[in-house]
Structure 1
Amino acid sequence: MWDPVFLRGVNLRLEFPVERYGLAITREAQFEIPGTPNPLRAFIERSIEDWQIRVDTKFGFWDNRHSEEDQRVGGFGFGVWATHEVASFYAAQRDKRMVRKRKTRLYKNEADIALGARSFEGIVLTLDSKPGPLRDACEAGGRVAFLDRLPRSPDRLGLAVGKLLASPQS
């Protein structure tokens, strides 16, 4: 999602006003940022701070497979409860898709699974419309806006995303 925002010079706060939207990234998305080349990485880090993008962390308990800095969930006072729908999506996806960790310290498709789960509680913007967790989420009723299906240069990203979400199979 960051690539078109960066390349088009999109102001997320203008497109998604704070009075109407809360912008967030998943904990898993944080793992992908350090491996992103500059100047895109610098843009992402600056945007998270400038636009007050919060990290959406689900409540959970310590996972012995991960170090302290690699924990995916937050404990008491840090994570939010997952709905039954979100927990069910995670359960269905984890068994099928996670095999081994990559250099990002994430399992294959782990970040997309987290985003797919969030689509049942909010709107997920992505460039990834290939078969996988995000398409699975969309087909199961999640709200996923596939930005690669937008016209090349919409005047207003927020309006284009709204129209995309209003159409069947966003």
Structure 2
Amino acid sequence: MAFTTSFMKYANVPSAVISDGVLPIPLWAVTAISLLQTYHLPPIGSTSHKAVVATHDDTITLAGVLVGVERYAWKLALETMAEASKRGTALAAYSGGRFGGLVLVTSMTIRTDMQVQSLTVSASAARRDVLDVSVTMAHVPKPSLLGKLLDVTSMGVGALADGLGS
């Protein structure tokens, strides 16, 4: 009986990267990405004075693959990072708590302050050397002008990456 390997190959650049500020975890061949933004309505009868609070919640869902002999190491790193997104990441430790959560870099968006809500990993005999991964992340920024500045900066970085890629 001959064993075959997967048809999936490493690309030059992963489709998405999840990082704690130190360790980047590449997701190769992201097959789906969705961004759900839920906006909050102000309470009825509220005054014109507004506090600095979040006006919306963002949830991003990615479906991709971990490829090759390192796939189990990436899976362990992803599980560890998912737990750290709740307790505190390396980025939070290095920044003295100013930044928390994970960093997500995709073609659609670049976000800091992400926390993993769910992580699903599956394998099949039809696709050897590949782990299918689905991860749902919530954007949980601290209310501040710095968070808004990072959002605007990420748009510039995304535009620059698009310009370099073409």
Identify whether the pair has TM-score above 0.5, normalized to the shorter chain.
no
The normalised TM-score by structure 1 is: 0.24
Q: Which has the larger radius of gyration?
A: 2
The normalised TM-score by structure 2 is: 0.25
